[in-house]
């Protein structure tokens, strides 16, 4: 996956043998953040790398108001990382507008918000 990060985005990566194998970015949207562009190298998926990256970021995520628009088939993955489903009406307007635009484009996504937690399972 190839993505460009605008100025101000926070980028986090996981490396293996000095090679980036996973990455995500936190995009500021007013006072909130949107977790975007999370990707794990295709040949290394299903090995816990994405989960480990999110566990590593829990302290940072706990200090932010952070939303995500994961594909619906990834809902359980994000739930395990401390995200819960939410309705667009409960999200800040700028987040809700972006979410609804993606839905209009036919994306099979859901809206989730990170909930601060002290420990993951």
pLDDT band (50, 70, 90) for residue 120: very low
Rg (the chain; Cα; Å):
14
- In terms of Cβ atoms closer than 10 Å to its own Cβ (0-12, 13-18, 19+), residue 113 is middle
pTM of the prediction?
Answer: 0.87
pLDDT in tens, 81-98: 999 999 999 999 999 999
Domain ranges, ordered by start, for the chain: 10-114
pLDDT in tens, 60-87: 999 999 999 999 999 999 999 999 999 9
Nearest C-alpha neighbor of 114 from the set 57, 37, 38, 61: 61
CATH T-level assignment (fold) for domain 10-114: Aminopeptidase (3.40.630)
Do 110 and 69 contact (CB within 8 A), yes or no? yes
């Amino acid at each position: 996956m190839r993505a460009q990060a605008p100025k101000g985005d926070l980028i986090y990566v996981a490396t293996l043998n000095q090679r980036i194998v996973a990455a995500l970015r936190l995009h500021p949207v007013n006072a909130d953040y949107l977790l975007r562009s999370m990707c794990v190298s295709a040949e290394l998926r299903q090995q816990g790398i994405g989960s480990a990256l999110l566990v590593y970021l829990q302290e940072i995520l706990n200090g932010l108001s952070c939303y995500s628009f994961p594909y619906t088939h990834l809902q359980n993955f994000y739930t395990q990382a401390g995200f819960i489903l939410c309705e667009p009406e409960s999200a800040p307007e700028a987040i809700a507008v972006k979410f609804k635009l993606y839905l209009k484009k036919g994306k099979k996504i859901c809206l989730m918000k990170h909930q601060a937690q002290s420990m993951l399972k």
